[in-house]
Amino acid sequence: MNFLRDRVILPVSDIEAATSFYRELLRQAGKRVSPGRHYFDCGGTILACFDPRADGDDFEARPNPDYVYFAVEDVAVTFTVAQRLPCQNIDGSIKTQPWGERCFYAKDPFGNPICFVDEQTVFTGGSAG
């Protein structure tokens, strides 16, 4: 049986800028799959940066309404990289949430809310702590 891989669409208004931003932030090259789509493999889930205009669609990209969460090996390194990039907004520090996750929140250059969580502290629904 074949299973579909998970894919999260991240709407962007400039595929080149999005590719550059996420290449540096995720520290991987990803793969251009069409003029307006660049895919990054995030542990089996595909982050699909999608620029509708670059793909010939007749609508504008609008930011996602809620956060896309990334579990990362080293949240401190990711935070340092994110601080150098043109985020629209970024937390001032990494924080430990009441449910135990160490993370920081930001908005990418296109207004998409994103969050980076230390993979050692990812809350999966069981007992916190």
108: CATH: 3.10.180.10
In a domain, 74, yes or no: yes
Q: pTM of whole model > 0.85?
A: yes
The answer to whether residues 51 and 14 touch, using CB atoms and an 8 Å cutoff, is yes
3-state secondary structure of 113: strand
**pLDDT at 3 exceeding the cut of 80:** no
54-106 tens-digit pLDDT: 999 999 999 999 999 999 999 999 999 999 999 999 999 999 999 999 999 99
Phi, psi of 22 (to 5 degrees): -75, -30
Q: What percent of the chain has pLDDT over 70?
A: 93
Quick check: is 84 in a domain? yes
**Which residues are 103's β-sheet partners?**
95, 117
In 12-90, beta strands by DSSP E: 31-34, 37-42, 45-50, 68-72, 89-90
Domains: count for the chain:
1
Structural domain of 81 = 6-121
